[in-house]
Every structure is written in C-alpha cells, then in structure tokens.
Amino acid sequence: MGMLNNRMNLFVIIVGLLLFLLPFIYESRTLLILLTQIFIFAIFAMSYDLLLGYTGIVSFGHAMFFGIGAYSTGIILHRMESTIFTVLLSLLVGILLSLVISILVGFLTLRLKSHFFAMLTLAFASLFLVVAEKWRTLTYGNDGFTFPLPEFLRDRTYFYLVSLTFMIAIYFLLKRFTESPFGKVLVAIRENERRVESLGFHPLYYKVIASVVAGTTASISGSLYVLSLRFVNTSVFTMEMTLDALLMTIIGGVGTLIGPIIGSGLIEFAHHLLTDLASISPIFERWIIFFGILYILTVIFFPLGIVGTIRNRISGKGKKEKYAKKTVAG
C-alpha cells in the first residue's frame, strides 16, 4: 500500500504540474473552459466520495450544499461590490452555512437506516429547490441572475489556475483526512457499524463530521461553479447535480478520491464530444443515458469503478475485491 501510495502521489503531482503548464503551452479557450469545469465537478464528486465511498452513506441530497455555495457567492457578488475580498467572503459564507446545515440535517437524519436517509436527504434537497424558486426577491426564482466578477477572475487562464489549485489542494486535504485515524474509523463504520459501536466509538458523531466535511467541500465547488458561469439559477439545487456526482463517483471508483476526478473528466469530456454529435442523431442529445446505463452496469459488475478495478489488477490482491464489494454493498 505504501509503495502504491507514494507512486500515486508522484503521479498526481506530475499530472498536476503538466496541467499547470498547459495554458502556457497550448492555447485553446474551449479546452481551458472544459478543464475548469472538470476540476470544479471533481471537487464536488470527491466530496461525495467521502460520504459514499469512505463512510458508506448514500445521500441523494448532496446538491443542497452545492447550491448553498452557489447562491452564497451569487447573492453576495450581486449585492455587494465585486472584489477579491467579497469573493473570499462569499466562499466563507457558503462554507459556514453548509457547516450549520450539515450539522442540523446530519443529527436529524444520520441515525436513520440507509433507505430512510437517502429518502430524507432527497426530500431536504427538494425543499431547498422550492425555497430557491419561491424566494424571488433574493434568488429571482427559476430565471436566476448574473453578477459581475472582480477583474482578476475574468481572465480564463487565471480562473483555470485557481480552480486547478483548489482541486489539488482539496484532493490532498481529503486524502490526509481519510488516511487519518478519524478516516479509518469512517471506513470501519462503512464495513461494520455495529462493531465500531461495540468498540466504544460513537458512529453518529463520526458520520456527522464526515457529512460536515463533505458538505463544506461541496459548497466550495458550488461557489467555483457559479464563478465560472457568472450566473446562478435554481438548477444548482436539482436532482441532476446529485446524479452527476453519483455517476462520476461510481464510474470513476468509490473510496479512491482519484476515481471521482477521473469520473468527472470522463463525463464532462463525453458531454462535450457527444453534444457535438447531436446533429447526427438526436439520441446524442440525451448523452447522459449512456452514462446511466454504464452506471448500472458498474454497480452490478464492477462495484469498484475504474480506478478500483485497475488498482486491484495491479496489486493483484483478491482480498481487496471483497473489501470493495462491501463498499457499495454496505
């Protein structure tokens, strides 16, 4: 594991450096925008992986935190002057709101069994969507609103670098978090919650902290997302957002952190390519259906996802197969 881990870190650092250099070597506006989008969704998907892959919690309402970050940033930049200071302030406000809400929702829902939890998070997220639609004075309802960006973020290259930095920083922070003793307890909860309890740990406390970390991370990705669009509307709270994170995490590989990044790249790239094909056949307009089918097949046949399956082949351990089957199997 240690060897694999070091090689992995090295790999991430090298790819990261290449990505940092990319805008100076190869100039393509479309590619920059696409990659920025990938980085932002990778952050969102990694935050989801913390819940699904590491702690074994299935939330269908993760878009709620994405949306909180998105609207915090949107509303603050729309109402106040647009400077570096207000951008940071808006990120912070999103994080704090997500913190409070994830604690409240967590204590209410995390003691429930997986079915009820999934259902209740779905319902909570739809409640946020309704609020965003109805509170027109603040959100302008379905239509949403645009807002100005401070000078330095208007440059696409600069924003690309900022998003990349965020993604890499969050990757290493979450990696550190999941490898800490705390993270080990989370994995233990996923494997066997009752046993963890009988060892004297309090699973609810650990699960709430996990959902707080996941929620605040998702909020950051939501903020970055609307910064990249300079626009926000109610779509940030929809089920589709949660589904995106779910597809990216499952297809990329649960419980790996690198998997969600690859999943994000795969889905965003495919989105880009397949939408171009829409002129050939309208079925490509509904490209997400391919990923839906791929997702179902992954859950049945490759519960480890891309990264997990490859990692398994390399290390050649049968032991891990069982372990990861449990990841998705609970």
Partner 1 sequence: MEQIVNLLINGLATGMLIFLLAAGLTLIFGLMDVLNFAHGGFFAWGAYSGIWFYGVTGQYVLAILFAMFVGLVLGALTEKLIIKPVYGNHIQQILITLGFMLVLSELLKVIWGPNQLPAHAPEWLSGSWLIGDIIIIKYRVFIIVVGLIAFFTIHFILKKTRIGLIVRAGVMNKEMVEAMGIHIQKIFMLVFMVGASLAALSGLLLAPYSGVIYAEMGMDFAILAFIVVVIGGMGSFTGSLLAAILVGLSGSFMAYYVSELSIAVNMLLMILVLIFRPQGLFYGKG
Residue 322 near partner 1 by CB under 8 A: no
Closest to 234 (Cα-Cα) out of 71, 47, 91 = 71
Contacts of 64 (CB under 8 A, 6+ apart): 101, 105, 121, 124, 125, 128, 215, 237
* 98: Cα within 13 Å, side-chain hemisphere: 35
Closer Cβ to partner 1, 179 or 240, answer by number: 240
Candidates 21, 83, 100, 116; binder of partner 1 (CB under 8 A) is: 116
Of 147 and 287, which has the nearer Cβ to partner 1? 287
Q: Which stretch binds partner 1 (CB under 8 A): 21-29, 110-118, 139-147, 308-316?
A: 110-118
Q: Which residues lie closer than 8 Å to 90 by C-beta, 6 or more apart?
A: 72, 73, 75, 76, 77, 223
Nearer to partner 1, 100 or 296 (CB): 296
288 near partner 1, judged by CB under 8 A: yes
250 binds partner 1 (CB under 8 A): yes
List C-alpha distances in Å: 60 to 66, 121, 180, 245. Answer: 12, 6, 26, 10
From the CB of 78, what's the least distance to partner 1, in Å? Answer: 23
- Using CB under 8 A, pick the residue from 80, 84, 123, 277 that binds partner 1: 123
Burial grade of 151 (CB within 10 A; 0-12, 13-18, 19 or more): exposed
| Burial per residue of 88-101, b for 16 or more beta-carbon CB atoms within 10 angstroms, e otherwise | ebbbebbbebbbeb
For CA atoms 30, 164, 174, 111, the dihedral sign is: negative
Site for partner 1 in 176-235 (CB under 8 A): none
CB of 329 to partner 1, least distance (A): 4
Pick from 79, 134, 195, 202 the residue near partner 1 by CB under 8 A: 134
Q: Which of 15, 80, 130, 199 binds partner 1 (CB under 8 A)?
A: 130
User: Of 135 and 152, which has the nearer Cβ to partner 1?
Assistant: 135
Query: Is the separation of the CB atoms in 219 and 96 below 8 Å?
Result: no
The terminus-to-terminus CA distance of the chain in angstroms comes to 23
CB of 14 to partner 1, least distance (A): 33
Segment contacting partner 1 by CB under 8 A, of 148-156, 192-200, 238-246, 305-313: 238-246
Question: Which span sits near partner 1 by CB under 8 A: 23-31, 71-79, 171-179, 294-302?
Answer: 294-302
Cβ atoms of 266 and 250 within 8 Å: the answer is no
Residues 297-316 close enough to bind partner 1 by CB under 8 A: 299-300, 303
User: Do residues 207 and 153 make contact, with C-beta atoms less than 8 angstroms apart?
Assistant: no
Strand ranges inside 108-181, DSSP E: 145-146
Q: Are 72 and 219 in contact (CB under 8 A)?
A: yes
How many of the chain's residues bind partner 1 (CB under 8 A)? 41
Q: Residues interacting with partner 1, by CB under 8 A? A: 56, 58, 60, 108-109, 112-116, 118-120, 122-124, 126-127, 130, 134, 239, 243, 246-247, 250, 282-283, 285-286, 288-289, 292-293, 295-296, 299-300, 303, 328-330
